[in-house]
Amino acid sequence: MSAVIVWTKPNCQQCRMVKRRLTEAAVEFEERDITAPENAKDLAHFVGLGYRSAPITEFGDLAVPGFVPAEIDAIGEAWRAAQTQEANR
């Protein structure tokens, strides 16, 4: 199953808020630093989509820039649905 990925940057308050919301909702996620040199291709991809700031919360085909609680919650629900589907296989 794919993981929720939270693309962050150092000292980012909105990044902390997204991570806290996911943690409180018991959604497992992986944190990646979008400013790290090894993630340059990912950064270019997101810039190409028009995303200009962190955080970017990603799951499957969903990607949410910034801290928008309703959209973060929707990603959590999509993650939960995928987890349930995987368990029922």
With beta carbons less than 8 A apart as the criterion, state whether 67 and 6 touch: no
- pLDDT category of residue 89 using cuts at 50, 70 and 90: confident
- pLDDT category of residue 6 using cuts at 50, 70 and 90: very high
Domain of residue 59, CATH code: 3.40.30.10
Domains identified in the chain, total number: 1
Cα(17)–Cα(15) distance, rounded to whole angstroms?
5
**How far does Cα 27 stand from its chain's mean position?**
11
pLDDT tens string 51-75: 988 999 999 999 999 999 999 999 9
pLDDT tens string 20-47: 999 999 999 999 999 999 999 999 999 9
Q: Which residues contact 53 (CB under 8 A, 6 or more apart)?
A: 14, 65, 66
Q: Which domain holds residue 27?
A: 4-87
